[in-house]
């Protein structure tokens, strides 16, 4: 294990100390805990990257289907209904 010294502004050092005390850990244990949780969280794992890639693929597929329907002019009312639902979900 490598030992590293970190200089923190006084208010941040106090916040770390309070959080460490509240979690009943030493300051170094608390910082390791926070960093471990950060790097093990879904956005920083292969599962998170796979999930984002899957969602991007699904979005691209839906966009191409909408574009195809727009080109043919088919089901304009249905397209408008779906767009209004999608727009309301974004809010």
Q: Give the model confidence (pLDDT) of 50-85 as tens digits.
A: 888 888 998 888 888 878 777 777 666 666 666 776
Regarding whether 83 and 58 lie in a shared domain, the answer is: yes
Whether pTM > 0.85 for this model: the answer is no
pLDDT at res. 53: 86
d(CA 48, CA 72): 37
Query: Do the domain assignments include residue 20?
Result: yes
Range of the domain at 17: 10-40
- CB atoms near residue 30 (< 10 Å): 19
Regarding whether 85 and 55 lie in a shared domain, the answer is: yes
What is the count of structural domains for the chain?
Answer: 2
Regarding whether 83 and 53 lie in a shared domain, the answer is: yes
Residues 6+ apart with CB under 8 A from 70: 79
d(CA 47, CA 54): 10
Q: Is the pLDDT of residue 43 over 80?
A: no
d(CA 37, CA 21): 18
Tokens of 80: 């408008």
Query: Do the domain assignments include residue 1?
Result: no
Regarding whether 78 and 64 lie in a shared domain, the answer is: yes
Query: Do the domain assignments include residue 2?
Result: no
Query: Do the domain assignments include residue 3?
Result: no
Query: Do the domain assignments include residue 5?
Result: no
d(CA 66, CA 63): 5
d(CA 57, CA 62): 9
């Amino acid at each position: 294990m490598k030992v590293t010294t970190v200089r923190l502004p006084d208010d941040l050092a106090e916040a770390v100390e309070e959080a460490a005390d509240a979690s009943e850990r030493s300051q170094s244990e608390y910082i390791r805990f926070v960093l471990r949780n950060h790097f093990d969280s879904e956005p920083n794992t292969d599962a998170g990257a796979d999930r984002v890639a899957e969602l991007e693929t699904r979005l691209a597929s839906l966009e191409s289907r909408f574009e195809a329907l727009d080109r043919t002019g088919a089901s304009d009312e249905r397209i408008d209904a779906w767009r209004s639902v999608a727009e309301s979900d974004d809010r």
